[in-house]
Every structure is written in structure tokens, then in C-alpha cells.
């Protein structure tokens, strides 16, 4: 895990935190994965993964309710132990089989838009963010990732308390990483009970405490998981730069609905709403979102936008950001002011 040298400095070097929900994966892969497999949401997961066959075989009525509600009802009844196991295996197998397309995706843009001080926290089970991260891993100072509900691409070594890519081995003991847990009954969700999930949440809370920008992408807090929102809010309110910090919401819902859902996180007009990633600060000022926002709001010296072009290949993306990387290397050596921006 990379170090976080700037987290205690409430300036524009503080983190930009991005929170991803299922809507982010759906927006990033509207046509499905590389093989056309659909990215399911909680309201259509049973149908997409064909879990209804297990329900029908066991005489379980299903009226299209949110999957987490269904899972909770089954988990609370011991007689459904076998069907629970089959459902969990089916979900893992489906998500684990997803593959990222060759061409650049929104997840590639997102990863390259942030630096090492920043954090992407996701509730999603699919491995596509990890796959995007892997193919951009030659770029220095990529953001950190945490998986708040587990992930099919993430493995854990319980013995040495380390995380890594599923399929790899623990660097300490040499044993293969084991899959992380994905499903928890909603009435018994306790983000401190599982050591892996607790560590992920602790990292998110530390970043939120010092974040200068907070982007919420495709995440709507479900009624079934209100504790997650409350946990984030309790830390966000302790942020010492809250009066200056900015919240971004990327969502296709109506503005009124979005404002109502996230009103507890926003102060006055310190928020922006976009209907896609490419309207966000992340795309307008890649790798410089907090810096550009600070120059505009604190110094009254707005930068010209340096928007991501639409790329055809990952290599093109890497070539385009080279001047930004050079500036970052200069800063590391002599604290030079960032100079690269579109004029």
C-alpha cells in the first residue's frame, strides 16, 4: 500500500476522494464487458445472473425486490443454507468472468485523472476497475483503491493480513490469496466485524477526513445500507476544510433528487452535479483537480481547462499525460509549481 505523505495537510495537496456505486460501472460499460456480458444492478441481478432457477426450485417467491433484501431474508432462515451457497457461488462466478474491453473505458480515464494522494473507493464487486488499474500500472503515482463490499478480483491472506490480486501469492508466506467475502445480510452489516472490510473503510475514513474534493459517481445509498452513508458523513463533517471543500455528484437522476439525497454532505452551493464523467473536474483538470479548484476559489486565478481528449488506445492516453507526469517529477525533486495546463 502506498504511503500517504500529504494527508495531514489541508491544502490543495489534500486528497480527491472518488466514491463509486453500481451506476459507475454501468455508465463505464454501457454495452457490457469485452464479451457483451451485462453489468447487473441490485434490482436486476436475479434476472441477469439467472438466480431465479434456485428460487423456483425451492418454492421461494420473488417479486423483483432489491437483491440485498432477498438475500437478507434467505440468510435469516437456516433452512436456506444450501441455496445461499449456490447463490454466492453464482454471483462470484459471473462477476469474476467479466473482462475489460481493449479500448479505453471511463475507468481508465478515472484512474489516470488522479494521483497517489487520491483515493477511489468502490462498492462494486466487478473486477473491471482492478483490470483498468493493472493495464495502467506502468504510470507512476496512481491513486489508491479500496473495496468497501469486497471484490471478486481482490484476494486476502488471513495468516499475514495482506491483500492482493486474487490468483497471486502472498509475498510473506507464499500461499495463494483467498477470495474476499462479498455478501452480508443487510440487517447484520457491521463494517468492523470483517478485518478486510474494516481496513478498507478505515482507509476511506482517513482520506475523507482530509479530502478537498469528494466525487460521488453512480452511487445512491440504498435504504438497506443507510449505515454506510452515516459512517461516511460522520467523518466528512470532521473535515477541517469542509467550508472550502467541494462535492461533485455524477449521476443521471434529476437535480432535485440528487440534491435531496446528498444535502447532508454539501454546504451552501459548494457542490456540482454532472450527468457524465466527462463533465466533471476529474476530466476537465486530470491529475490537477484539487490544484485547479484551489487556484480558482482561493487565489481567484482560474486555470484554462485541460480536458481529456477521447482516446482510441491506452497508449495514446499514456502519451498525452506525459507532460503532467514530468511536472509531478519536478515537484517531487524541488517543489516546483505545476506549470503544465492548457492555454
Pick from 200, 192, 160: nearest CA to 178: 160
Position 98 scores a pLDDT of 97
Between 186 and 19, name the one with better pLDDT: 19
The grid coordinates listed for 134 are: 493493472
**What are the residues facing 147 on neighbouring strands?**
122
Other beta carbons within 10 angstroms of residue 16's beta carbon come to 29
pLDDT for 105-158, tens place per residue?
999 999 999 999 999 999 999 999 999 999 999 999 999 999 999 999 998 988
User: Who contacts 100 (Cβ-Cβ below 8 Å, separation ≥6)?
Assistant: 33, 34, 107, 128, 131, 132, 135
Other beta carbons within 10 angstroms of residue 114's beta carbon come to 24
Q: What is the percent of the chain with per-residue pLDDT over 70, rounded to a whole number?
A: 92
Position 190 scores a pLDDT of 67
Compute the CA torsion angle 52, 54, 56, 60 (nearest 10 deg).
-90
Q: Read off the DSSP letter of residue 131.
A: H
**Is 136 within 8 Å of 145 (Cβ atoms)?**
no
Q: What is the percent of the chain with per-residue pLDDT over 90, rounded to a whole number?
A: 61
- Tell me the pLDDT band of 337, cut-offs 50, 70 and 90: confident
**What are the residues facing 274 on neighbouring strands?**
250
Position 193 scores a pLDDT of 74
**Is 129 within 8 Å of 95 (Cβ atoms)?**
no
Over 70: is that where the pLDDT of 9 sits?
no
Q: Look at the chain and count its residues.
A: 343
- CA–CA gap between residue 262 and residue 218 (Å, rounded): 13
- CA–CA gap between residue 229 and residue 262 (Å, rounded): 10
Q: Is 155 helix (H, G, I), strand (E, B) or coil?
A: strand
Position 93 scores a pLDDT of 96
Q: Name the strands in the sheet holding 162-165, side by side, starting at the edge strand that comes first in the sequence.
A: 162-165, 154-157, 178-179
- Tell me the pLDDT band of 224, cut-offs 50, 70 and 90: low
Residue showing cell 434476472:
47
Over 50: is that where the pLDDT of 343 sits?
no
Position 223 scores a pLDDT of 58
Prediction pTM value: 0.92
pLDDT for 277-319, tens place per residue?
999 999 999 999 999 999 898 888 888 999 999 999 999 999 9
**Is 254 within 8 Å of 57 (Cβ atoms)?**
no
- Tell me the pLDDT band of 4, cut-offs 50, 70 and 90: very low
Over 80: is that where the pLDDT of 10 sits?
no
Position 222 scores a pLDDT of 60
Residue showing cell 500500500:
1
Position 331 scores a pLDDT of 87
Position 323 scores a pLDDT of 94
Position 129 scores a pLDDT of 97
For the ranges 81-85, 245-249, 285-289, 306-310, the lowest mean pLDDT is seen at 81-85
Cα dihedral across residues 229, 127, 284, 310: positive or negative = negative
Query: Would you say domain 16-33+104-149+184-334 falls under CATH 1.10.287?
Result: no
- CA–CA gap between residue 238 and residue 18 (Å, rounded): 18
Rg (alpha carbons) of the chain, rounded to whole number: 21
- CA–CA gap between residue 20 and residue 215 (Å, rounded): 9
Q: Is 276 helix (H, G, I), strand (E, B) or coil?
A: coil
The string of DSSP letters for 160-188 reads: TTEEEEBTBB-TTT-PBPEEPP----GGG
**Domain residue extents for the chain:** 16-33+104-149+184-334, 45-96
Amino acid at each position: 500500500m502506498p504511503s500517504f505523505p500529504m494527508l495531514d495537510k489541508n491544502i490543495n495537496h489534500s486528497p480527491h476522494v472518488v466514491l463509486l456505486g453500481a451506476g459507475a460501472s454501468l455508465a463505464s460499460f454501457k454495452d457490457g464487458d469485452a464479451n457483451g456480458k451485462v453489468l447487473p444492478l441490485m434490482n436486476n441481478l436475479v434476472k441477469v445472473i439467472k438466480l431465479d432457477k434456485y428460487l423456483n426450485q425451492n418454492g421461494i417467491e420473488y417479486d423483483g425486490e432489491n437483491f440485498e433484501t432477498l438475500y437478507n431474508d434467505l440468510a435469516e432462515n437456516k433452512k436456506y443454507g444450501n441455496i445461499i451457497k449456490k447463490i454466492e457461488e453464482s454471483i462470484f462466478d459471473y462477476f469474476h468472468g467479466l473482462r475489460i474491453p481493449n479500448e479505453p473505458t471511463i475507468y481508465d480515464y478515472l484512474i489516470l485523472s488522479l494521483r497517489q494522494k487520491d483515493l477511489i473507493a468502490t462498492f462494486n464487486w466487478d473486477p473491471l476497475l482492478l483490470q483498468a488499474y493493472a493495464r495502467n500500472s506502468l504510470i507512476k503515482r496512481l491513486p489508491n483503491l479500496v473495496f468497501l463490499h469486497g471484490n471478486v478480483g481482490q484476494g486476502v491472506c488471513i495468516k499475514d493480513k495482506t491483500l492482493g490480486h486474487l490468483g497471486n501469492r502472498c509475498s510473506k508466506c507464499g500461499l495463494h490469496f483467498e477470495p474476499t467475502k462479498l455478501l452480508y445480510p443487510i440487517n447484520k452489516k457491521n463494517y468492523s466485524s470483517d478485518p478486510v472490510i474494516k481496513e478498507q473503510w478505515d482507509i476511506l475514513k482517513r482520506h475523507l477526513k482530509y479530502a478537498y474534493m469528494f466525487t460521488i459517481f453512480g452511487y445512491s445509498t440504498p435504504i438497506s445500507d443507510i449505515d454506510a452513508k452515516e459512517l461516511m458523513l460522520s467523518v466528512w463533517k470532521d473535515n477541517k476544510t469542509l467550508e472550502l471543500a467541494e462535492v461533485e455528484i455524477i449521476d443521471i437522476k434529476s437535480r432535485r433528487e440528487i440534491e435531496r439525497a446528498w444535502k447532508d454532505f454539501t454546504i451552501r452551493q459548494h457542490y456540482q452535479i454532472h450527468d457524465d464523467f466527462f463533465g466533471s473536474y476529474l476530466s476537465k483538470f486530470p491529475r490537477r483537480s484539487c490544484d485547479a479548484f484551489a487556484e480558482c476559489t482561493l487565489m481567484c486565478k482560474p486555470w484554462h481547462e485541460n480536458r481529456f481528449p477521447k482516446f482510441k488506445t491506452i497508449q495514446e492516453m499514456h502519451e498525452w499525460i506525459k507532460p503532467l507526469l514530468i511536472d509531478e517529477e519536478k515537484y517531487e525533486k524541488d517543489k516546483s509549481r505545476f506549470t503544465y495546463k492548457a492555454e
